[in-house]
Structures are given as C-alpha cells and as structure tokens.
Amino acid sequence: MSVTLKDVAQAARVSVSTASRALTGTGLTSERTQQRLVRIARELGYRPNPIARGLKTGQSRLVALLVHNLTNASFQVMAEVVQARLKALGYQMLLCIGGDDPQQESDTLTTLVDHRIDGLIVVPTGKNGAQLKALAKDVPIVCLVRCDDATDLETVLADDPQGAYLGTRHLIELGHRRIGLIVGRQDTTSGRERLSGYVRALREAGITRDDTLIHAGHYVPETGVTCARKLLDLPRPPSAIFVANHEATLGVLRVTAERNIAIPDDLSLLCYEDMPWFEWHRPAISIVDNGARDLANLAVDRLLHRMDAKGNGNDGVREYRVGARLIKRDSCRHIDAPAPAKSGKSKSSSSKSSAAKSAKV
C-alpha cells in the first residue's frame, strides 16, 4: 500500500538498517549514501510509519490535551495554541473532552496511556489524583489552570489572586466604593483565590468588606441572573459589579438589559476572562484577562522540557503563575464624572430615569 523502508533500501541496493540510519540521520553512514538515500526516499514518496517506529521506540509522537469542554473560550484558545505549537514540532495533538467528570477523565486517561502518548497536558477534575500520580511515572504530565492537590505534578496556573486584585483596584480607582462580586463556588481554588484578591484590594483601600455584596455560584449564566438581581435589589445597590467568570456575565447583562440599566453610566461592569464578542458588544466590556494564551504556551514549554529531560525535568518549581492583566474597554466609568454627551450614547440619559434605583447609588 504505502512505501516502506524496505522498498527504499531495495531501490538503493542497501540493507534496511543502512536505510534507517541514513534517513533518521544517526550519523553512522557515509555522506554519499546518506544523501543518495534521502533522495531516493523522496522520489519514492517514503513516509516513515509512526506506528512501527512507535512499537520499537515506545513513542507515538502524540501529545494529549484534556480539557473540560470547548464552549469555554479559554479552553478554545488553549487548544488552538497547543495544537499549533505541537504541530510545529512534529507532534499530533489528541484533544480530549472530559466534561469535568471524574469518571470520564479516568477513562480517557487510561486509553491515552494505552496509546502511549508522549506527553499530557490536563485540566484536572481533582478527583483522580492517584491515577494521575501513577501515570506521571510513565508519561510527562503538566497540569493546567487547576491543580490536583493529591499529586505533586507541575502545574501552570493563572494568577487569580492578582487578577481579581487588579480588577477590583481598577474599580476602586474609578471611585467605586460599593463593588458587587459574583464569584465561583468557594470549594474551587479559583473561586477562593478570586475572592481573596478582591478582599485584598478592598482592604488596601480601606474599604470595609460588605458580605451582602459578595455572591458565589456555579459558572453558568443562571448564576449571573440570580446574583445580579440580588445585588441590584439591595437597599444600597453597588455602583459596580465585578463578574469573576465569563459565563455568569451573560446572566448579568440580561438583567441589566431587562431593567434598562445603562452600562457604564448607571453601573460599571468588569468581567473575568475574555470572550470574542466582548469587544464587539456595546459598550465593549472591560475585562481581566487571565492570559489563556500565555498559560497554554507555558504549559507547552514545561511539557516539552520534561519530555526532553526524560524523566527528571524537575526543576524544583512546582507551580507556575501566569500574570493576569487588565484590559480597559468601555464598560467601567468613573463614578463622579458626568456622563459624556458623546453621540450614540444618548441612550444613557433616557434610561437613567427609568432605572432610577441603581442610578441613585
């Protein structure tokens, strides 16, 4: 069916071993035969069979990326980055979707090692620590975004405490004092860390923390709806809301639209993580960028390092943090500044009256 090494060897009238050495460049061949073989191989359209090679060498040129889903924008860019980097190095990416489900994760992991993957980047559920730990003996593994406390795996994390701090401080600098926070469940690391960053910024600014302004929930739009309602129904509603997760943002936007609350005039809105449409939205939504692209790149770097180091690429560092950064767009406004009378923003003046409750803050 396809051209094998044997065919090349025969055509060149040498043994298979010589052909192999010449083509893999293991240097033990004379310059002349080397070049001759390369030429013949090209002429015949020879392509080494990775399966056969894998059987002998124990490698597959396959690297797996295991994420929870593809609807999350961060995972999308990570997948694209990882794929691009790996391809450039001659690896194929096996993209697996675990659905944040421990059982699925576990199944996937076993079939992946069956396939003798050369490396693995995984966003762990946190429930398969033992298995991961065992696999780590055979395969270089790097954890991404979340860490699995049951393992001592190298992990590349977003700097959530700093990101949340940066965002909150930004709002404070704009004069906001009552800042609502919609954050992830407190039994997740990211949930806890984002809260802590928020709290730190408040403390630094000498603002006392008001727990009625803090709401935690799952990373789904519904959370945004219910939390936004609670916040806006407060006797003294916040003048700004920091939504520490992009799924919930959908819900918040819906509530503000329903109540005719103008952003940023009546309410400033800041989100965590970017989505492609945020900058197209009117007003364009300011965000704290968790650096998905950087995270993915670093994870690949670390993985490649481990793969090269053959077993002990352990540099002592266990946790890498990728800095977050603030991207200012149009959804946050200084609380004391008068509403700009720019054309196309006239909406705000009209809606302000009807959304008196929150505008009065």
Instruction: Using CB under 8 A, list all residues that contact a copy of itself.
Output: 1-2, 47-52, 54-55, 60-62, 69-71, 76, 79-80, 83-84, 87, 92-97, 107-108, 110-112, 114-116, 138, 221, 250-251, 253-254, 257-260, 275-277, 280-282, 344, 346-347, 350-351, 354
d(CA 193, CA 197): 6
Choose the one of a copy of itself, DNA, none that binds residue 6, judging by a C-beta under 5 to 8 angstroms depending on kind.
DNA
Angle of the 246-258 helix axis to the 221-232 helix axis, nearest 10: 50
Site residues (vs DNA, CB under 7 A): 1, 4-6, 13-18, 20-24, 26, 28-34, 46-49, 52-53, 55-57
User: Cβ closer to a copy of itself: 30 or 111?
Assistant: 111
Choose the one of a copy of itself, DNA, none that binds residue 46, judging by a C-beta under 5 to 8 angstroms depending on kind.
DNA
DSSP per-residue string spanning 294-324: HHHHHHHHHHHHHHHHTT----S--EEEE--
User: Cβ closer to DNA: 37 or 66?
Assistant: 37
Choose the one of DNA, a copy of itself, none that binds residue 321, judging by a C-beta under 5 to 8 angstroms depending on kind.
none
Closest approach of Cβ 26 to DNA, in Å? 6
Closest approach of Cβ 177 to a copy of itself, in Å? 28
Q: Which helix (H) or strand (E) holds 120?
A: strand 119-122
User: Cβ closer to a copy of itself: 193 or 265?
Assistant: 265
85, 297 Cβ separation under 8 angstroms: yes
Closest approach of Cβ 360 to a copy of itself, in Å? 18
Q: Which helix (H) or strand (E) holds 325?
A: strand 325-327
208, 241 Cβ separation under 8 angstroms: no
Q: Walk across the sheet containing 286-289 and list its strands.
A: 214-217, 179-184, 240-243, 268-272, 286-289, 325-327
Q: How far is residue 143 CA from its own chain's centroid? A: 11
